[in-house]
Every structure is written in C-alpha cells, then in structure tokens.
Amino acid sequence: MRPIGVISTTALFLLLGLAVPAQARQEKQEESTKPPKQEQQAKPEKQQQAKPQQQQKQQQQQAKSEKQQQQKSQQQAKGQQESQQKQQQQQAKSEKQQQQKSQQQAKGQQESQQKQQQQQQAKSEKQQQQKSQQQAKGQQESQQKQQQQGKGQQQKQQQQEAKSEKQQQQRTEQQSHPQQVKRQSSQEQHRQQSEQRGAWQQHRANNWQSEHRDWQQRGGYNGYRIPDDRYRGYFGSGHSFRIYSYPVMLVGGYPRFQYGGYWFALVDPWPEYWADNWYDNDDVYIVYIDGGYYLYNRRYPRDRIAIEVYLN
C-alpha cells in the first residue's frame, strides 16, 4: 500500500509541475495579446515623473546661461574698465609729456633770453669800452694836435721873427748902400708889381657865370691834400687873410700866392665885378668843400674860385 502512495504523490507533483509552466505560458500569451492600454497608462506616469527632471535641467541650463551671460557682462565691464583705465593712463602720460615739453620749451626760452641778455650786455660793455677808448684816443689826438699847433705857432713866430730880422737887415743894408742901389731896388719892385698886376688882370673874367667851372665840372680834384690838423689850424671860414700880405709870384703867367706853408694857384678866372685890387685889400679864406679847394672873398660870399694846392 505504501509504494502505491509514493507513486501517487510523485505523479501529483509531476502534474503540478507541468500545469504551472503551462499556466505561466498562457498568462504570458494573454498578456502579449492584451492591448497596450496598461503601458499607455504607465507612460504618462513616467512622463510625469520625467517632466520635473527636464524642468530642473532647463532651469540648470538657464541658470548656467545666465551665469555665463553675467560672466560675459562682467568681462565686458572689466574690459571697458581696463580700457578706460588704459585711456586715462595714456591721457595722463600724454599730459605729463606735454607738461614736460612745455617746461622744456619754457626753460629753452628762458635760457635763450638769458643768453640774449648776456650777449647784449657783453655787446654794450664792449661798445662802452670802445667808446671810452675812442674818447681817450680823441683826447690824446687833441692834445697832440694842440701840441703840434703850439709848435706850428712857435715855428711861425720864429719864421716871422727871422723874416723881421731879415727885413731889418735888408733895411740896414739898403740904408748903407748908395742911393743908386736904392733906386734900382725900388724900380725892380715896381716892375714886379706891375707884372703881377698885369697877370691878375689877364685872368679877370668877362662873364664869370659862364666862364668859371667847379672841381666837379673839371672831373674832380687830384692835387695835394692838406692834412686835417693843419687845415683846422689855418684854413676855413674862421681863418681869413689878404693875399699880398704873403709872398706872391708868377708861374707860367699865372699868379701864385703862399699861405699856411703852402702855395696856391687860381685855376678859375675871378669875377669881373670884383674890385681891381681885391687881392690887396679884400679878406679871403680857403675852404675844402664838394671834393676840392676854393677861394672865398668875404665881400662876395656867394662866389668861389677853384684853386690848386702846391707844396713848393
């Protein structure tokens, strides 16, 4: 009886083992054949579960984008600030360079002004020194001229004294000579005076305004020049004389007279309206003017006669 029971039990388990897989396959087939309604119902739930995640992801991306935009704005602001700082630095540098340039220009102008002032001062001092030297030289020359004039006057006095002594000696000799010699000497003097008067009259003009010529018309004066110191001592309008108070002689038919240590010859005719004996009685003087020497007569101050100077 027992073995039969065991076999029955074993058979029962086998039936159950076969039945369970079959049922499982049937359920699986039923599930596969069942419409996907349940899946569709599960999908919204899944989407609802995934939606917060997407929103969170979008928010994260938006936050990231805003952060990037903020960083970009900060970088731009920083770049602008750096650019402004750089411009300010460049402007400050340019202003500093301009200020330094202005200071250098001002310094250069100041140095140039100082240099000009120093040069002007040195020039003024040099001119003052030259002026002082010229004044000292002028005083020295004036003293020398005065000495020369004094010497010349002394020589003139000596010459006059010698002449006076000679004349006195001649008078003494004439007094000691016989009367015949006196008559001959008087006759000789009278003859010479007559010849000289004849020579003077020969050089009298018929129409002086058309006949006379000054030195410029003659091509300029080329004769002897009297030294300045000598000229100032004996010549000019302040030194007048009478011709026949000094030696007179004829050279080639032309009268020459001596004055101031020089001989003078008339190269112009004398005016026809002057007195016949003007060379005896009129006061005359010699002037160097307009490039030549001229003889002036105080009675006729507008007229002048061209003359030439000779040493001997």
Question: pLDDT by residue (tens digit) across 145-173?
Answer: 666 665 655 565 556 555 555 555 555 55
pTM: 0.41
Is residue 239 very low, low, confident or very high in pLDDT (cuts 50, 70, 90)?
very high
Please check whether residue 272 lies inside any domain of the structure.
yes
CA distance 228 to 183: 45
Q: How many domains are contained in the chain?
A: 2
* Same structural domain, 161 and 232: no
Boundary residue ending a domain (112, 141, 176): 176
CA distance 106 to 23: 116
Please check whether residue 54 lies inside any domain of the structure.
no
Is residue 176 very low, low, confident or very high in pLDDT (cuts 50, 70, 90)?
very low
User: Which residue type occupies 298?
Assistant: R
φ/ψ of 256, rounded to 5, equals -130, 145
Q: What is the pLDDT of residue 52?
A: 73
pLDDT in tens, 38-94: 455 555 566 666 677 778 888 888 888 888 888 888 888 888 888 888 888 888 888
* Same structural domain, 184 and 306: yes
* Same structural domain, 213 and 301: yes
Please check whether residue 130 lies inside any domain of the structure.
yes
* Same structural domain, 191 and 266: yes
Please check whether residue 20 lies inside any domain of the structure.
no
Average pLDDT, the chain: 77
Alpha helical stretches, state H, the chain: 2-33, 37-176, 179-202, 208-211, 228-234, 278-281
Q: What is the pLDDT of residue 178?
A: 43
Boundary residue ending a domain (176, 194, 212): 176
Q: What is the pLDDT of residue 125?
A: 86
pLDDT greater than 60 at residue 300: yes
Contacts for 204 with CB less than 8 Å, ≥ 6 apart: 269, 270, 272, 274
* Same structural domain, 226 and 304: yes
Please check whether residue 88 lies inside any domain of the structure.
no
pLDDT greater than 80 at residue 206: yes
Better-scored residue on pLDDT, 233 or 312: 233
* Same structural domain, 134 and 153: yes
* Same structural domain, 160 and 190: no
Please check whether residue 77 lies inside any domain of the structure.
no
* Same structural domain, 138 and 192: no
Q: Which domain holds residue 279?
A: 177-310
- Least confident interval from 120-124, 174-178, 276-280, 305-309: 174-178
Q: What is the dihedral of CA 33, 38, 44, 45, to 10 degrees?
A: -130
Please check whether residue 98 lies inside any domain of the structure.
no
CA distance 31 to 37: 11
- Range from 173-177, 209-213, 246-250 that averages highest in pLDDT: 209-213
Is residue 273 very low, low, confident or very high in pLDDT (cuts 50, 70, 90)?
very high
Q: What is the pLDDT of residue 259?
A: 95
Is residue 183 very low, low, confident or very high in pLDDT (cuts 50, 70, 90)?
very low
pLDDT greater than 60 at residue 141: yes
